[in-house]
Structure 1
Amino acid sequence: MQKKNYSYIGIAFIILVFGIIFIPRIVDKISKGETVEKDRMNIVGKERNTKLLYLKIDDKARSVPEFLFTNQDNLEISNLDFRGKVTVMEFFFTTCPTICPVMNNNMRLLDDEFHERDDFAIGSFTIDPEKDTPKVLKEYAERYGVKSLNWHFLTGDLKKLHELSNKGFNIFTGINPEVAGGFEHQGFFALIDKNGFIRSRKDNHGNPKVYYQGTDPKEIEMLKEDIKNLLDEEQ
C-alpha cells in the first residue's frame, strides 16, 4: 500500500509540474490567436496541395482545341500562345446586358490578383464578332481597366468561335433574337493548366467540377485557390 501511495504522489507531482509550465503558455497562445492562426494556415496549405483533376472524355484528358483569332491589339493569337501559362477562358460579348458585366468584373479580380505573373493569362472569346471588332474589344478592355498584357480579348469567324465554345469546351453559346442582347450563353470560366489541359477541383461526389460559375463570388474564390495550385504545380 505504501508503494502505491508513492506512485500516486509521483503522478500528481508530474501533473502539477506540467500545469505550472505548459498551461500558461497554451493560454497565452490562445489569447494571442496564435494557435488558431497556425491551424488555419495548415488547413489552407492542405487545400492548396490538393491535386486538381483532369477533365477526361473516353478516359483521355481533354485539352483546349487548336484556334487562331485576333485580339484587341490586332495581333493573331492561337492556343499555343497560352502554353506555359495557367489560363482562365470565357465566352462573352461586349453588348451583353445580363451576365457578362458580372463575369468580367469577376475576371478583373483575377487580373488584379495575378497580372504581374508572366505565367498567368486570360482568354475572353466574343460570341458576337460582327460587332466586337478589335477596336471595340480594345475600348472594352480599357473600360474594365485591364492590367495584364496576357489578357486577350479575341474575335474572328462567327462559326469558328461558336464551334470552339459548343464543341471544344461544351460551353453552350447560341444566337437567339428573342433574348436580351440576341445571344444565349453560359457564364462559365474554364481553368487551363500550362500544358493546355482543362483542370478542375472535385465536387461533393468526387467528380470533376468541370467549370466555375463566373457570376458566383464563392466560385471565384475557389478559382483563385485553384489557379495558385496550378501555378505551383510541377509540369
Structure 2
Amino acid sequence: MSTKKNNYSYIGIAFIILVFGIIFVPKIIDRIKGNDITRSESRSKDLTNNSEGYTSDLMYMNINGAPKKVPEFSFIDQNGNTITNKDYEGKVYVVEFFFTKCPTICPRMNRNLVQIQNTFLDFEDFGVASFTIDPENDTQETLKAYADNYGITNPNWHLMTGDQDTIYELANIGFNIYAGENPEVEGGFEHSGNFALIDKHGFMRSRQDNFGNPKIFYKGIISEDEKVDEDGETEEISMLKEDIAKLLKED
C-alpha cells in the first residue's frame, strides 16, 4: 500500500514540474531574448561597486560575455611622468589615438576634446587619455608643445608616448580602435576618429543604439557647431558630454 502512495507522489511531482515548464520556461526565455535579465538583473555588485548608489543607464561593452575593461598600460606623458591605467582609477575619461603631425582629423578631434575639457573644468575626476600612434616623432617635448598649443590644461589629460607596437596593440585589441601605418595616406598613418568612454572602475561604457546594443564609440571629428558633416553624419560630442555627466554621478 505504501509503494502505491509513493508512486502517486512521484507522478504528482512530475506533473507539477511539467506544468511549470510549460508555463514559465517560455516566459524566462523571452526575457533573456529581450535582454531584460542580462542588462539589469545580472548587473552584479562587484561590477561597479555602486549597488547602493546611482547607476546610469549607460551600457557595458561585452566581450565573450564579460564587460570590457581597460587593459594595463604604462607610458610617458607630456610632462615626463610615467602614467598607467591606475592613474585613471576613480576617474571618468575619454580615450583617443592621434599623432601631432596629423594633417586631417586629429586637429578637429582635439579641438572637440578641449571643448569637452572646458565643459568639465570643475570636475577633478574627469580626464582624457591621448595615445600617439607616431611615437618616433611624438617625444615628450613634442607632446608638451602640442598640449600648450591646444590649450590643454586639465591635469588628468595625459598625452602619452612609448613603444609603437605596444601602442598599436592597445589601440586595436585593448580599445578596439583602429590604428596603423599607411605610407599611401596623407600623414603616413591612419586611425579611427572615434572616442571611447571609460567609467570610474575602468569599464568601457556607452549608450545603446537603435537596436538596443551598445554604441561602443563616439564620433570625435564632427563638432557641436557643425551638427552634421558633408556626408550627413550627425555630431556626437553633445551626446558624449551628456554621458560623461552621467558617469560622473556614479560612485
Q: Is the 8 A contact 1:122 1:152 kept in 2?
A: yes
From 112, 121, 126, the counterpart of 1:115: 121
Equivalent residue number for residue 83 of structure 1:
89
Q: Is the 8 A contact 1:69 1:78 kept in 2?
A: yes
Tell me the CA shift for residue 115 of structure 1. Answer: 2.7
Structure-1 separation of matches of 2:183 and 2:151? 30
From 199, 206, 224, the counterpart of 2:212: 206
Opposite residue 229 of structure 1, the aligned amino acid is K
Establish whether residue 51 from structure 1 lines up as the match of residue 68 from structure 2: no
The runs of 5 or more residues in structure 1 that have no matched partner are 1-47
Equivalent residue number for residue 159 of structure 1:
165
Instruction: Indicate the SS of the match to 1:101.
Output: helix
Establish whether residue 219 from structure 1 lines up as the match of residue 236 from structure 2: yes
From 107, 110, 125, the counterpart of 1:104: 110
Opposite residue 221 of structure 1, the aligned amino acid is S
The runs of 5 or more residues in structure 2 that have no matched partner are 1-53, 225-234
Please list every run of at least 4 consecutive aligned residues from structure 1 whose deviation after the TM superposition is greater than 6 angstroms. Answer: none
Tell me the CA shift for residue 50 of structure 1. Answer: 5.1
Q: How many residues align?
A: 187
Q: CA RMSD in A?
A: 1.3
Establish whether residue 125 from structure 1 lines up as the match of residue 122 from structure 2: no
Structure-2 separation of matches of 1:200 and 1:136? 32
Q: Is the 8 A contact 2:193 2:220 kept in 1?
A: yes
Structure-1 separation of matches of 2:183 and 2:205? 34
CA deviation profile, 1:39-98 (whole Å, cap 9, x unmatched): xxxxxxxxx985100000111000110000000000000001000000101000000000
Between the aligned residues of both structures, percent identity stands at: 55
Structure-2-length-normalised TM-score:
0.73
Structure-1-length-normalised TM-score:
0.78
Bigger helix share: 1
CA deviation profile, 1:125-147 (whole Å, cap 9, x unmatched): 00000000000000000000112
Q: Is the 8 A contact 2:56 2:250 kept in 1?
A: no
From 63, 68, 75, the counterpart of 1:62: 68
Q: Is the 8 A contact 2:56 2:247 kept in 1?
A: no
Equivalent residue number for residue 149 of structure 1:
155
Opposite residue 199 of structure 1, the aligned amino acid is R
Opposite residue 118 of structure 1, the aligned amino acid is E
Instruction: Indicate the SS of the match to 2:128.
Output: strand
Greater CA radius of gyration, 1 or 2?
Answer: 1
Structure-1 separation of matches of 2:149 and 2:159? 13
Structure-2 separation of matches of 1:108 and 1:212? 15
Tell me the CA shift for residue 170 of structure 1. Answer: 1.0
Tell me the CA shift for residue 107 of structure 1. Answer: 0.4
Establish whether residue 171 from structure 1 lines up as the match of residue 188 from structure 2: no
Opposite residue 159 of structure 2, the aligned amino acid is F
